[in-house]
Structure 1
């Protein structure tokens, strides 16, 4: 990693806010992004920019911007989008961390309004805003991308209500709208670099398990949607989304207090009006994952894995059998009819039938067609539900 000209480094007392921009191949956008930060009404910030070995002239643009609040870094090896972001957070000196993608913009009052809220409400872990989804000219998106226009315009919710929304609907928080206390990252950990599609979704789940958040119900971010974002529809991204969701759902209820879990999901429990014992809460989490996660296939795969581990607890097995009328033999049937193994077999059989029909010149059997339609429909529902960048 090479820092830019030392004369640009911020010295002296730590700023209140550290703004971070991970940069990669956005030479035509990054100057506009930086200018939207430098033109903020709030001025007590440092701006950290890390270029992750861009192959365009991004670094030339970055190094040509002169402002004493900027610290810029040129990476000598590619860190990846998550690694580059984590690097910047580690360098940050501010009490608060704000992110701007190198192709997005902020509106002039964003930081001022967010800092005021976090300073006045120390119990909050983070503050977010609504966002405009815009094209390259800064106009509200139209066409296929217009379905995302209202995704980030969310009400405020309790911690339990946020978790329930994430579980049933997916992500709805605009990443570049964030202002997060740095102590939150130090306590909960950084973004997981093993996640390419959903690192922010995983972070927000961990965040609201532990801290309340606030959303300013005003569009203060211009979020570019040009069809080239991380969530662009492709077979590879769809498969990666499903894989990452298995891991996210697998830990969705971990390290979650019983109080927040009951507050968020109590109305969805199978057994109501009974004491919330540890074994019963384990069972409720199992059935939520089996039946209700917005990406059904990933939720079921996570549920099966969790249930296998929990079956070693005799009390869990007893409560599941005697109170929820679900015994180990029903679980065996479930593992043969859903979960990772089932979907692998479906995909394998569908492919085999397609190959056989192409070799014989016959039409694909009706079952193969239904399987193919099901998998395509599943991918479409997933992409609609994720509502992510």
Structure 2
């Protein structure tokens, strides 16, 4: 039986230093029935030229006319996908070679529509720790633990419909997963490290504060949680955010 097509959405913005490594980690998958939809968010470096020079028929490049953020770029990608399955990869992250094969087999065996995996968190190319994931998450679980990494997600469009990211500059991916889970779906975790999530050291402290603020805003404005339930969820979020940074260090 022919393998199902996986559409991989990669948003880029000034990503010339990392984008080819990310793309090759997709093209070198053992699971080969895939396409890449790369959406450039108005880069002013050589990102687009580098990708177009690959001249690979499995890669389609779309360029936004103005810088609009990752949510808009990913939504453009969602409009252009041809596959039954949607996967996401950020332009500075990397997949392990068997990522798609193992995750697709996991989804097929379990008959599930939304999966994610464990990953390695890498700061400044050297400080590493493994983030292990739970076997299943429902809406209220994700509110308290934003552990689903966008670059590990695969969604089956025949099971999960209406995948679209809200117009948020940050936390748009978590808000998307919440909207899917809120409709009664569950997200299933494959506890195998299949991706590398790369973070620049100089952006780490800013990321912590920004993500905390945006998480609170997401609770109150996007999810419309009461103040007290938002505070309750935020306390778990803060605890789990610290755990992600310090557990299983290498």
The aligned residue for residue 197 of structure 1 is: 170
Q: Does 1:293 align with 2:199?
A: no
1:219 corresponds, among 184, 189, 193, to: 193
Contact (CA 8 Å) 1:294, 1:385: kept in 2 or not?
Answer: no
Q: Does 1:155 align with 2:148?
A: no
TM superposition shift of 1:62: 1.1
Aligned partners of 1:190, 1:247: CA distance in 2, in Å? 17
1:125 corresponds, among 113, 120, 125, to: 113
Structure number with the bigger relative contact order (C-alpha 8 A, sep ≥ 6) is 2
Deviations 1:152-189 (A, max 9, x none): 312213x5xx334333x33011110011112466x344
More helix by percentage: 1
Contact (CA 8 Å) 1:20, 1:88: kept in 2 or not?
Answer: yes
- Return the TM-score normalized by structure 2: 0.83
Structure showing greater Rg: 1
Aligned partners of 2:108, 2:139: CA distance in 1, in Å? 25
Instruction: Tell me the number of residue pairs that the alignment of Structure 1 and Structure 2 aligns.
Output: 242
Contact (CA 8 Å) 1:188, 1:206: kept in 2 or not?
Answer: no
1:167-316 mapped onto 2 (5 Å cutoff): 167=143, 169-183=144-158, 187-193=161-167, 195-209=168-182, 210-227=184-201, 228=203, 232-234=207-209, 238-250=212-224, 289=229, 292-294=232-234
Contact (CA 8 Å) 2:220, 2:230: kept in 1 or not?
Answer: no
Aligned residue for 1:219, secondary structure, equals: strand
Q: Mind listing any 5+ residue stretches in structure 1 that lack a counterpart?
A: 1-12, 142-148, 252-285, 297-379
Deviations 1:168-225 (A, max 9, x none): x33011110011112466x3441101x2221122222222332233211111001101
Aligned residue for 1:293, secondary structure, equals: helix
1:1-389 mapped onto 2 (5 Å cutoff): 16-122=5-111, 124-135=112-123, 137=125, 139-141=126-128, 149-150=129-130, 152-157=131-136, 159=137, 162-167=138-143, 169-183=144-158, 187-193=161-167, 195-209=168-182, 210-227=184-201, 228=203, 232-234=207-209, 238-250=212-224, 289=229, 292-294=232-234, 381=238, 384=241
Q: Mind listing any 5+ residue stretches in structure 2 that lack a counterpart?
A: 246-250
Aligned residue for 1:250, secondary structure, equals: coil
TM superposition shift of 1:240: 3.7
TM superposition shift of 1:66: 2.3
